[in-house]
Amino acid sequence: MSTTASVHEVDEILAAFAAAVRAAGVPVTMDRTAMFLRGCAIAGAGDQSAVYWTGRATLCGSLEDFDRYDSVFDAWFSGSELTSRTPRDSLQRTAQADLGDADGDPGNQEEPTWVRASASSAEVLRHRDIAVMSPGERAELAKLFAGLRFVPPLRTSRRRRGFRTGDIDARSTLRDQLRRGGEPARLRFRRRTTRPRRVVVLIDVSGSMGPYADSLLRWAHVIMTASPQRTEVFTVGTRLTRITAALRMRDGQNALEAAGHAVPDWSGGTRLGEAMQAFIDRHGQRGLARGAVVVILSDGWERGDCALLGEQMRRLHRLAHKVVWVNPHQGKLGYAPVQAGIVAALPSVDSFLAGHSMATFERALKVVADA
């Protein structure tokens, strides 16, 4: 066999491996594959460990890709030992944080009966409790959600832009002057611009929130569509799952389905305190929650330690610009926030809102927009 033929063969094997990594769900593009082949040629395609590290650096784009990459690598090149491999435990935690065993389903509390208002059917739908709707009514509701508009909250940016008034822009004034041959001309001004503030949505997907899950995701999708670069969405249950990427799809139904696949713990238990801790430790503290509007969509049924929840909420409050809690039971007849979880969390919450019907969801959007 000639040298070129064997080189060609090695490239084919490596390219096929890259394709397998892509098939496993890692977004491997053509240029990444090309970079991988070039890297292997330099680092040594015969050295399995070198191929492993080269592939990880060229085919993967983030920490979340490593697990998929590893399993494909093991399957593809199994049979021989890889010497130095990074322990995986800390990596898995980041993508999907396991919060321990699922607790029992806390979804057995009494649902207060909802008094139906007599008005036009859309208006009725707007105020109906989503939990007691028929599938037909929910489909109708999906359309209403698609009609919701959201204007992201703004923050002052460090960037400045020319404006009629403001601080004197020396750079622009001098450049103007230069253009006139050094003759002093009129002063130019600039001022700080505004940018959309980050919104972080945490959706409780435990059993007790089951009837609302669909609507809460749609609600988060409305925010996501309005400000895709500045919105992050997580679900909390027995695990903390980042579903931002899934919800970025423009189409509501597709986004919902993608999110459904991404979340492994629908209708399980909740340990809000632990989930909040996981969120703050792994994402919030690093900057995701800093200066952001954090929205928690939960009924506040805490099966774990309420002291922990209180502590984590205080931490969150120190990091975030505003903490908004949307509770499906708030605003229903006979509801009072007396559950231990809510009591522990309330001092650290800026707005405590209802979220069980279209009208209340609209209002919650307004509160977030004005935060």
CB of 204 to other proteins, least distance (A): 23
Q: Is 143 in the site for other proteins (CB under 8 A)?
A: no
CB of 43 to other proteins, least distance (A): 6
Using alpha carbons, select from 237, 214, 1 the residue that is nearest to residue 98. 237
Binding map of other proteins across residues 186-215, x = CB under 8 A, - = no contact: ---------x--------------------
CB of 178 to other proteins, least distance (A): 6
Q: Is 261 in the site for other proteins (CB under 8 A)?
A: no
Q: Could you say which of 303, 315, 317, 329 contacts other proteins (CB under 8 A)?
A: 315
Q: Is 25 in the site for other proteins (CB under 8 A)?
A: no
Q: Could you say which of 48, 92, 96, 177 contacts other proteins (CB under 8 A)?
A: 177
Report the C-alpha gap between 33 and 261 in whole angstroms.
Answer: 27
Q: Could you say which of 8, 38, 116, 366 contacts other proteins (CB under 8 A)?
A: 38
Q: Is 307 in the site for other proteins (CB under 8 A)?
A: no
Q: Is 29 in the site for other proteins (CB under 8 A)?
A: yes
Q: Could you say which of 6, 71, 229, 253 contacts other proteins (CB under 8 A)?
A: 229
- Under rule CB under 8 A, which residues in 323-342 are in contact with other proteins? none
Amino acid identity of 283?
Answer: H
Measure Cα distances from 344 to 273, 281, 305, 327 in Å. Answer: 10, 20, 10, 15
Amino acid identity of 97?
Answer: A
Applying CB under 8 A, the residues found at the interface with other proteins are 27, 29, 31-32, 35, 38-39, 42-43, 49-50, 53-54, 56-58, 60-63, 66, 83-84, 86-87, 90-91, 157-160, 170-171, 174-175, 177-178, 181-182, 195, 229, 281, 285-288, 290, 311, 315
